[in-house]
A and B are shown apart, each in its own frame.
Chain A
Amino acid sequence: MSNYYIALIPLLPLATFVLLGLFGRKYLSGISGIIGTLSLLASTIISLVTAYNYFFITERVNGVFQPIIALKYTWLQFSANVSIDLGIMLDPISMMMIVVVTFVSLMVHIFSLGYMKGEERFATYYAFLSLFTFSMLGLVLSTNIFQIYMFWELVGVSSFLLIGYYFDKPSAVAASKKAFIVTRFADLGFLIGILILAYNAETLDFGILIERLTDATSPYLINSTASTLLGVSALTWGLVLVFLGGAGKSAMFPFHIWLPDAMEGPTPVSALIHAATMVVAGVFLVARLFPIFAFDVSALTVVTYVGVFSALFAAIIACTQTDIKRVLAYSTMSQIGYMMFSLGISHHGGENGLGYMASMFHLFTHAFFKSLLFLGAGAVIHLVHSNEMKDMGGLRKLMPITHITFLIACLAIAGIPPFAGFFSKEEILMAAFENNKLVYVVAVFTSGLTAFYMFRLYYSIFWSKQSHAHADHGEGTLTMKIPLIILGACALSVGFVPIASLVTSDGAALETHIDYIFSLTPVALAIAGILLATSLYKNENSKPQSIANGLGGFYTAAHKKFYMDELYLFITKNIIFNLIGKAAAWIDKTIVDGFMNLLADVTAEISNLIKGLQSGKLQHYAVYFFVGMIGFMLLFIYLWI
């Protein structure tokens, strides 16, 4: 069977990007949205067919899914073994990811038809969305670690372009720069990590890389564990640095500072890039290299603790934010933290791979309910023209569809059965319980917090005070409601997708079961969180304020995001700029420039001294000539006579 049609999945959005980017604004401004959406619809259908074929038609070997290289083209050949290839790899996680990416992207495309209507750069917006979709699909389908790096940077660029979409707003420009610089900085680690791994394994290909670095007898693995730096083996360094890149993209602590600011972009973009797809690229990367990570306990420990700390940290901040998109941004960070530590506590293969499966499951369900939350928030912002909670309240009558779907998404993220988030979160908590009790306690607590802040958000938007929103236009166009309804249905149902039998660490189906007794604690905590939020925020009252006052400094610190931005500013401005920057500037200005100026001055002085020789007077020259001739003559006489 020819697999070449699979290449259309990323190439269709690329073609759309080229078409709309070149001709969109001039010739296609009216229909650019339709073009983008239709091409992505085709891409979505192909990816669904591909995933269906892969999961249900292709033969498994002993019940294990085999990776298939559908397409491979050697791009740069460095040596006999090392080459940069461009290709398409089909395996369970890439199949799951293309379904998520194309589907969420399609929903966002449809939603944007209404949300972005009337924008001057409408065609450019769709061009950038297509560019992003192309890069993300290329990323998840990569066969080669360098290919993933190239697409990794491409998604970074498209994220930069889309955050800065409203480039006449200074805050948006600053946010896009911040996102780019922070993730770029983390990607430097990723690049070094790639080089370390590639140097030790002498390949860039994922399949061979994993094979060589997971075989305990292979000389590559022995070499890379034997050579150490600062007491840490080269393998661990490589993996931790690769994870650093992933942490940057996935907004893990301490690289999370760009994500809340990235909310300056159009809301559908936040739903697509900063909630469902790009930010989980880091999780995907760790999952892609998971067999190697599983071999190296210390790297996995880093992943675990970064993940679990980010989850708790972000959840606490989310409780205090008042910008609804920022609440969602921190909630995204917290949920990605779940996925990360779930990978971190997992082992490779069989029953021990529960954490891996749970992480992928959570990635899958999270994509749906979080993009739904963002699109719902987009619809709300579309109506009230503000991001602030204080401008909202009582909107449930004005926008019934948004209200219901938003509620579904909140219940899903809070982990209330039978919504999607319940199933994936249960698997994560189960894996945590079996492997690391500390992580389990933090995770359960965080899940209670999650329920609390999500319902704080929900009540602040839809209940609380009486609505004073001016219903100058209704809930939004039909194109905005359809994605909400579809995603709402998904948030209700995707928990029943049998991810456990499809996407596992070793490709073999995993038996899972919901243990109702075990589920009792997290669900009870979630309900407690919801009840607490209900009592505090359902009706406007003074209790939240008094609690905030009671918490005092802690509340202020959380509200100020634990001063992370200030810390970064302090480090960059006071330490880097003042200590290193100023010294470097002084050296440049006085020593380097001074040396150059000295050369120029000396030359000018000498030329000033001797330029009088060139008087323009013919007879002076004649004198020099005669004197010279006489001098030569005397010399000849002295020498030869």
Chain B
Amino acid sequence: MNEIGLTQVLIVSTILFFIGVYGFLTRRNMITMLMSIELILNSININFVAFNKYLYADKLDGTFFTIFIITIAAAEASVAIAIIIHLYRNLKSIDVDDADMMKF
């Protein structure tokens, strides 16, 4: 009956994106927030691959961008974990609500 088309893929990636946003805004644990960011990034990756496959099947640009994003996500994760470790050493906690010194 129905083939899986671009629309269905985009629906999946949109759901994934908003799960990530929701997790980023509601979770207090910084590691979980980092995981949520990964979800957001991966939803983007899916979009790139999907657009590449369905619209410009003869090109590879979208796939390349996906690989770049995965690389950058790895670097970003290492920086974020370094920040989290430093905060933990100072606050003895990885709850994001405890890290609220930067205010008025």
Contact A619 B96 (CB under 8 A): yes
- Give chain A interface residues in 585-641, CB to chain B under 8 Å: 611, 614-619, 622-623, 626
Assess whether A616 is in contact with B102, with CB atoms less than 8 Å apart: yes
User: How far is it, in angstroms, between the C-alpha of A626 and the C-alpha of B25 when the chains are bound?
Assistant: 10
Residues of A within 8 A of B102 (CB): 616
Q: Which residues of A contact B24 (CB under 8 A)?
A: 619, 622
Q: Determine which of B21, B96, B101 lies in contact with A626 in the assembled complex, contact meaning CB atoms within 8 Å.
A: B21
CB distance B104 to A614 under 8 Å? Answer: yes
Q: Which of B21, B25, B26, B100 contacts A615 (CB 8 A)?
A: B100
Query: Which B86-104 residues have a C-beta within 8 angstroms of A?
Result: 96-97, 99-104
- B residues 1-54 with Cβ under 8 Å of A? 21, 24-26
| Count of B interface residues, CB-CB < 8 Å | 12
Q: Which residue of A lies closest to B28 (CB)?
A: A619
Report whether A618 and B96 are in contact in the complex, using a CB–CB cutoff of 8 Å: yes
A619 to B24, CA, bound (A): 8
Q: Which of B25, B101, B103 contacts A619 (CB 8 A)?
A: B25
Cβ A616 vs Cβ B100 within 8 A: yes
- Kindly provide the distance from the CB of A35 to the nearest chain B CB, expressed in whole angstroms: 68
A611–B103 Cα distance when bound, in Å, is 9
Task: Tell me the complex Cα distance, A148–B104, Å.
Answer: 63
- Are B100 and A617 neighbours in the complex by a CB distance under 8 Å? yes
Which residues of chain B (54-90) have a CB below 8 Å from chain A?
none
Taking the closest CB of chain A, its distance from the CB of B55, in whole angstroms, is: 20
Q: Are A617 and B104 in contact (CB under 8 A)?
A: no
User: CA A618 – CA B99 in complex, angstroms?
Assistant: 8
A618 to B102, CA, bound (A): 9
- The residue of chain A having its C-beta at the shortest distance from the C-beta of B30 within the complex is A618
Measured between alpha carbons, how far is A614 from B25 in the docked complex, in Å? 17
- Size of the A side of the interface (Cβ < 8 Å), in residues, is 10
CB of A617 within 8 A of CB of B97, answer: yes
Max chain A Cβ within 10 angstroms of own Cβ: one of B25, B96, B97, B104:
B104
Scan A144-156; emit 1 where CB is below 8 A from any B CB, else 0.
0000000000000
Q: How far is the CB of A626 from chain B (nearest CB, A)?
A: 6
CB B82 to nearest CB in A, in angstroms, measures 16
- Closest chain-A Cβ to B76's Cβ sits at a distance in Å of 16
| Smallest CB gap from B96: residue in A | A618
Measured CA separation A201–B65 after assembly (Å): 88
B40 to chain A, nearest CB (A): 11
How far apart are A537's CB and chain B's nearest CB, in angstroms? 85
- In the assembly, what is the distance between CA of A489 and CA of B24, in Å? 110
Q: Given A617-B97, A618-B96, is A623 in contact with B25 using a C-beta cutoff of 8 Å?
A: yes
Nearest to A615 among chain B residues (CB) is: B103
Contact of B104 among A611, A622, A623 (CB under 8 A): A611
The interface residues of chain B lying within 8 Å CB-to-CB of A623 are 25
Q: Closest residue to B27 on the A side, CB-wise?
A: A619
Chain A residue at smallest Cβ distance from B21:
A626
Q: Determine the distance from Cα of A351 to Cα of B24 in the docked complex, in whole angstroms.
A: 111
Nearest B residue (CB) for A617? B100
> Which residues of B are found within 8 Å of A617, using beta-carbon distances?
96-97, 100
Bound together, the chains give a CA A622 to CA B104 distance in angstroms of: 18
Q: A622-B24, A626-B25 are in contact. Are A616 and B101 (CB under 8 A)?
A: yes
Shortest CB distance A622–B (Å):
6
Q: Inside 8 A of A611's CB, which chain B residues have their CB?
A: 104
Q: How far is the CA of A123 from the CA of B102 in the complex (A)?
A: 65
Q: CA of A626 to CA of B22 in the docked complex: distance in angstroms?
A: 11
Q: How far is the CB of A55 from chain B (nearest CB, A)?
A: 85
Q: How far is the CA of A626 from the CA of B23 in the complex (A)?
A: 13
A616 to B100, alpha carbons, bound, how many Å? Answer: 4
Question: Complex Cα distance A615/B98, Å?
Answer: 12
Interface string of A218-233 (1 = CB under 8 A from B): 0000000000000000
CB distance from B93 to the nearest CB of A (A): 14
- B residues near A626, Cβ cutoff 8 Å: 21, 25
A residues 536-588 with Cβ under 8 Å of B?
none
Which B residues are CB-close (under 8 A) to A618? Answer: 96, 99-100
Identify which of residues 267-324 in chain A touch chain B, using a CB-to-CB cut-off of 8 Å. none
Per the bound structure, the CA–CA distance linking A390 and B89 in Å amounts to 91
Nearest A residue to B101 by beta-carbon distance?
A616
Task: Tell me, rounded to whole Å, the shortest Cβ–Cβ distance linking A624 to chain B.
Answer: 11
What are the residues of chain A within 8 A of B104 when measuring CB–CB? 611, 614
CA of A619 to CA of B96 in the docked complex: distance in angstroms?
8
Shortest distance in angstroms between A605's beta carbon and chain B's nearest beta carbon? 15
Give A189 Cβ to nearest chain B Cβ, in Å: 59
Q: For B25, what are the chain A residues with a Cβ–Cβ distance below 8 Å?
A: 619, 622-623, 626
Min CB distance A616 to B, Å, is: 3
* Residue among A614, A618, A626 having the largest count of chain B Cβ atoms under 10 Å: A618
Q: Which residues from A are CB-within-8-Å of B103?
A: 614-616
Q: In whole angstroms, how far apart are the Cα atoms of A622 and B33 in the complex?
A: 11
How far in angstroms is the closest Cβ of chain B from A612? 8
Query: Chain B's nearest CB lies how many Å from the CB of A316?
Result: 76
Point out the residues of chain B lying under 8 angstroms from A614, CB to CB: 103-104
Distance in angstroms between the alpha carbons of A622 and B101 in the assembled complex:
16
Task: Chain A residues near B96: list those with CB within 8 A.
Answer: 617-619
| Distance between A627 CB and nearest chain B CB, rounded to angstroms | 10
How far is B64's CA from A551's CA once the two chains are assembled, in angstroms? 121
A81 to chain B: closest CB distance in Å? 66
Q: Mark A81-104, 1 if CB is under 8 A from B, else 0.
A: 000000000000000000000000
In whole Å, how far is B37's beta carbon from the nearest beta carbon of chain A? 10
Chain A nearest CB from B52 CB (Å) reads 23
| Nearest chain A CB to B14 CB, angstrom units | 13
Residues in A with CB closer than 8 Å to B100 are: 615-618
**Distance between Cα atoms of A584 and B22 in the complex (Å):** 64
Q: Residues of A at under 8 Å CB distance from B?
A: 611, 614-619, 622-623, 626
The 3 A-B pairs at the shortest CB distance, nearest first, are namely: A616-B103, A616-B100, A611-B104
Give me 16 other A-B pairs in contact (C-beta within 8 A), A618-B100, A619-B26 excluded: A611-B104, A614-B104, A615-B100, A615-B103, A616-B99, A616-B100, A616-B102, A617-B96, A617-B97, A618-B96, A619-B24, A619-B96, A622-B24, A623-B25, A626-B21, A626-B25
23 pairs of residues in contact across A and B, judged by CB atoms under 8 Å: A611-B104, A614-B104, A615-B100, A615-B103, A616-B99, A616-B100, A616-B101, A616-B102, A616-B103, A617-B96, A617-B97, A617-B100, A618-B96, A618-B99, A618-B100, A619-B24, A619-B25, A619-B26, A622-B24, A622-B25, A623-B25, A626-B21, A626-B25
**B residues lining the A interface (CB < 8 Å):** 21, 24-26, 96-97, 99-104
